[in-house]
Chains A and B, each alone.
Chain A
Amino acid sequence: DTAVSQTPKYLVTQMGNDKSIKCEQNLGHDTMYWYKQDSKKFLKIMFSYNNKELIINETVPNRFSPKSPDKAHLNLHINSLELGDSAVYFCASSQPLASGRTGEQFFGPGTRLTVL
């Protein structure tokens, strides 16, 4: 099936550890994103890559580092995990359209990160 996939689905880890979340899309899109959804269900963008180039970098701690090995993959590495990093992280992808419009974003199933 064509989709945006993320691994792992659940991630439970101790404070201070380093972890990675992987994302892959087979929709042929040029742009990929990472979002964080907090406990209040508010969805906020963290990063966006277009053709492997970083185009959006919100006010996110330096402990978060995205990596895009190719335009179908966007991974998120988190160093020195803190309690406040606990959230659901969503990957998404989209394709730009003509006339400056933007196609809809397709979201992955999410990774629930719990930091103990």
Chain B
Amino acid sequence: EDQVTQSPEALRLQEGESSSLNCSYTVSGLRGLFWYRQDPGKGPEFLFTLYSAGEEKEKERLKATLTKKESFLHITAPKPEDSATYLCAVRGSNYKLTFGKGTLLTVNP
């Protein structure tokens, strides 16, 4: 069974304080690793897809990286508007998207 573990569960940062979120996974036949952002009361919003080890994607202050066992979401100089829950998910050969429990990020001004 595919599994995704995210750490930490919650992270508080000061504005401008860079950090990383971790997503460890086990999957049979990786068909994609996905990062989503979820704001309170809303549906998950797509951020990145990574398909193979060594791949990196960037968007504004966010950068996602992938190894064979984990993915990192690096946040550089975060702003309060980056506060949200960040979800990691993997899709394996069974076509299911398995989510982690998320990291709740709070960025204080």
Contacts and interface: CB of A to CB of B under 8 A. Distances in A.
Nearest to B93: A100
A26 B13 CA distance: 38
A108 B43 contact: yes
Interface stretch (B16-24, B45-53, B64-72): B45-53
B42 interface: yes
A44 B100 CA distance: 9
Contacts of B87: 43
Contacts of B31: 100-102
A48 interface: yes
Nearest to B41: A110
Contacts of B85: 41
Nearest to A99: B51
A109 B31 CA distance: 25
B91 A102 contact: yes
Contacts of A100: 31
Interface residues of B, number: 22
A87 interface: no
* Range for the number of chain A residues in contact with chain B: 20 to 34
Contacts of B46: 104-106
Nearest to A43: B99
Contacts of A92: 43
B49 to A, nearest CB: 5
Contact of B95 (A48, A90, A108): A48
Contact of A101 (B32, B36, B96, B102): B32
A109 B45 CA distance: 10
Given A42-B101, A102-B91, 11 more contacts: A41-B102, A43-B44, A45-B98, A92-B43, A100-B31, A102-B32, A103-B49, A105-B46, A105-B97, A107-B43, A109-B42
19 contacts: A4-B43, A33-B97, A40-B101, A41-B101, A42-B99, A44-B99, A48-B96, A55-B95, A58-B96, A101-B32, A102-B31, A102-B91, A104-B32, A104-B46, A104-B49, A106-B46, A107-B45, A108-B43, A109-B43
